[in-house]
Structure formats: C-alpha cells, structure tokens
Amino acid sequence: MKKLFIVLAGAVVLTAAFSFSIINYGGTNAALTIAQTEAGFVSGVKNSAGDIASFKGIPFAAPPVGDLRWKAPQPAKHWQGVKKCDAFGPSPMQAKPTPFMVYTSEFLIPEKPISEDCLYLNVWTGARSKTEKRPVFVWIYGGGFTSGGSACPIYDGEALAKKGVIFVSINYRVGVFGFFAHPELTKESNSKASGNYGLLDQLAALQWIKKNIAAFGGDPNRVTIAGQSAGSMSVNALVASPLTKGLICGAISESGSFTVNNPTLPAVSLEVAEAAGVKAADKIGAKSLADLRALSSEDALKKLNGRYAPIVDGYVLPEPIPAIFAHNKQNHVPVITGWNGEEFGSGPVKKEDFIKQAQQQYGADADKFLSYFPANTDEQAIISAGKVSRDLVFALSGYNWANIQSTQNDAPIYVYNFNRKVPAAPDFVKYGAFHTGEVCYVMNNLKFLNNRPFGSIDHALANLVSDYWVNFVKTGNPNGRGLPDWPKYNASENLVKVFDAESKNEKLVDKDALDFLLSKVGK
C-alpha cells in the first residue's frame, strides 16, 4: 500500500479520480491523512493513537504580499504532487510576542515565523472516510485585532476532534495589514470599500471550508464559527454580514461583540477610516499606494502604527452592527454567548476618585450607578472598577445580543458566565476567571498549560464545557445525553449557565447593573 502511494505521489499529475480510500493509512480505524483540495492534494499527520489526523498550514488564499497587500484575499495557487501540511504556517505580521500578566507563552503565537504571508488554516479530523459529514467547528482567535494567530498552543484542535467534530483554526490579517483604509484602496477595489481585509480573510476561509471540507470528512452545510475576544467580535461581525449567508449555521461568541458601542473599539465609518489612512500616509511621506506597498513589513508595522479594527465599510458591514441587529437583518443562527467573571482587572483606585468620576459621568444618576458599583472603601472601588470595565467591554454586548435574539427571531441563544478562578502560579492567583481563561476549558486543553495546579474539578469542568460546545456544533443545541440541562435564554427569565467548581443555571446576577449601563451607552 505504501509503495503504491509513493509511486503515485511521484507522478506528474494526480487526477481527481484518485481514490480517497486507497490512500487511507493505518487501516479502517485510522484517520484520513491525505485530502484533495481545489488547489491540490495535502497530507497530514496522525496522532500517536492514530485516531486523529492534523493538517497544518494549508493555504486557503494567495499570500497577501506585494501588490496584494491591502487587497481582498485571492485564490491559492494550484500545486502538483502532495503538499506536506505538518507545521503551522506563519502567524500574521505583528509585534514579537512577549508574555505578560497571566498570559504565558501557551496563550501566545510562536516567536517565529511571523509574516505577511499568513493566510493558512489548520484541520483536525477523526474521519476515516470523506463520506462521514462530521460537523465543523471553526476557531477565530483574539488579540485585539492587532495580534494573535492560530498556532497558539491552547488552540490545538485534537481534543475536540476526538469528540466528533472537524476542528478548523484559521489565520487572518491583523493590525495595519488587516484593517488599513485609504481612498485609493477603496477606488481600486471591486467592492468600492477598504479596511476590512481581516474580515475578508475570515470570509475567504469560510468559503474555502464550504468548497473543501468534505474532503476531510466534514459537512460543508454544518459549519459553526467560534471565537474569543476580537475573535468573538469577528464572529458577531460575520453573523451581521450579508456575505456569510449560506456559509454558517451557528455561532459561539466568547467575550465580546459589536451589538453596543465598545469603548475600546468604537465603530468608525469608511470615510473616517479613510481619513485616518491618508493622515498616516502623509505623516511618513508616502505619496501613493505604490509607496505604501513598497514599505517593508517591519516598516509598515512601525510607521503606520495606530488603532486598527473592523469598520463600517458598506460592503462586509453595510451598516453599523447595532443597526443591523436592530433592523433584524443579521443571519438567524443559533448562538452561544457569554463572558468571564474577571475579564478585565483594574489598577489601584481610590474610592474618592471612583466616586468623583461616577458623578462626572452619570450626574444625577451617580448614586444609582454607585448602588451597583459601590466604592465605600478603596478595596471595594478596585473591585467595582474591574466590574465596570468587564461589563462595558464584554458583558454588555453579550447581554444585549441575548436580549435581541431571544425576542426577535426563532434561533435560540444560550448565555453563560464563566466564573471558575483559573488555577495559576502564586503570583497569578489574583487574576481569577481572567479574560481568555475559559478557552483552555472549551478546547479541553488544560494539558497545554504548564505549571498550573489543575485538579479534578478543572478536568471535569473542561470536559463539561467542551461537551456543551461540541453538542452545539453538532445540533445547534448544547444539550445532550448525560449533561445537565442548559435552558435557552429568554429576556424574562434571564437564566444563564454558570460554569464554576459547581456549574448550574442561575438568574443573571448583574442584570440590573447591565440594564443601567445599557440605558446609558445606548443600543
């Protein structure tokens, strides 16, 4: 069998008629290790048990370099023979990853390779035949739209693939390479828009999945997108975009969306983003797109530095996302959304300063605000400041999405609060259920976090959470045999699943505080 494969792999042409089953290594219980994509054959690597194969670094689009910098992703070039896909492709161009706070190397991309040539995705599959049609879980990383990549250790897809889904993680351009707008870029594009290249990359990956995932044993009609932080906001944007119609059947949004104005990533129009692009180009003396594209990757990153994120470009996002949801124009798909107990901490805060700021910001309603976020002591002010930050940046948008979806259409939405204080080295204990802390539980990947004193409670919780996520990917409902019931959310009962040492259904504890904040920021 191996001899036959070697002969065929060396041939000048591998035809479409080449049988998938002929090159299935390891017998009937082994995962597929060869797949035929539109651009050519790819080979993957089996795990030690032989039940999961991983295909890493599959190009889903042409390298967005040279004249393709700041253009919509183009199709990947075809290749002959079998492309070995046993290592992650380069992470998107960004600053060198440096551990900080609780974010050790397991949460970060590898130090190298990092490149503009980054449009690669990864597939983990346990399918033994391309006819299986397993549901597909697509992971979109966070990083504030300025960093991140699919090669972070905690994003490994083997554990979820073992539970019966095809796991796909994708790269997309970040920072200036992913979200730079300019009038000349808008003029040259077919869509007459610019600035959302990172979202277009995500769309291109979904289109690739639609066309190719069946070759890995996946179901192209059962694709659920999931992400955390900026990845969660990306999920929300993709649900809002008309361009994803027919590409997704469900969404998991962990910590963040654009359904309300996000103080850290305010929505901007194409015109505003274009003006910022002109200003940035003028500042460095770039007089044309040719000048801008002639910049090295390092110079573009350094000289065009700024705050980049998705914009309302009139194409990927025809309207501001709150308006899309208010007008019920989003894709109607089942959703899981939620946030963590200690998403964002705060530095030292004096009670007097906290109260003064509340009075300045909320005026006559300051006392009401302080009833939800008290500051009777400095210690209490620090805790309240952290909760305000969590709610404004992460919780409020998830809560608003839940209220909209539960009253607006038949697609169910399920809400969670992740409150497990992630065990950590002694100097990290203070971070509690920190931002991103749930991801290693969702992925059932606690083993990738070094020097963390996880116990039986944590392993049980990881198994529980990952089971819910996998069930949702399979059916659009997280519930399944042997699992405690997780009721769909409705705006009258406000029941959410609380994940902790003891997981249970509870009324949303912070509902009144969230309602107050929502009345102030607007919908």
Element (H, E) at 415: strand 413-418
pLDDT, tens digit, for every residue of 479-505? 999 999 999 999 999 999 999 999 999
Give 182's Cβ-side CA count (13 Å radius).
Answer: 24
Residue reference for tokens 């259904």? 505
Q: Is it true that the peptide bond before 113 is cis, omega within 30 degrees of 0?
A: yes
pLDDT above 80: residue 308: yes
Just list the catalytic residues.
229, 343, 435
pTM of the model: 0.93
DSSP state of 467: H
C-alpha distances (whole Å) from 286 to each of 180, 299, 302, 353, 491 are 14, 12, 14, 44, 52
Q: In which band, very low, low, confident or very high, does the pLDDT at 263 lie, cut at 50, 70 and 90?
A: confident
Supply 32's token pair: 């597929």
The pLDDT assigned to 264 comes to: 74
Using CA atoms, how far residue 248 sits from 135, 258, 347, 354, in Å, is 11, 19, 40, 44
Query: Rounded to the nearest 5 degrees, what angle is found at the Cα of 122, between the Cα atoms of 119 and 128?
Result: 145
Name, in order, each residue with C-beta under 8 angstroms of 499's C-beta and a sequence gap of 6 or more: 416, 417, 418, 419, 420, 438, 441, 461, 464, 465
Q: What is the DSSP letter of 100?
A: B
Would you state the structure tokens that stand for residue 476, as one six-digit string? Answer: 């659009």
How many CB atoms lie under 10 A from the CB of residue 103?
Answer: 16
pLDDT in tens, 21-38: 324 433 445 678 999 999
Domains with residue ranges and CATH for the chain: 2-109+117-349+389-521 (3.40.50.1820)
Quote the CA–CA distance of 212 and 511 in Å, as a whole number. 43
The arithmetic mean of pLDDT across residues 162-170, rounded, is: 98
Tell me, what's the pLDDT at 25?
37
Q: What's the whole-number mean pLDDT along residues 99-109?
A: 92
Q: What is the pLDDT of residue 426?
A: 65
Task: State the pLDDT confidence band at 19, using cuts at 50, 70 and 90.
Answer: very low
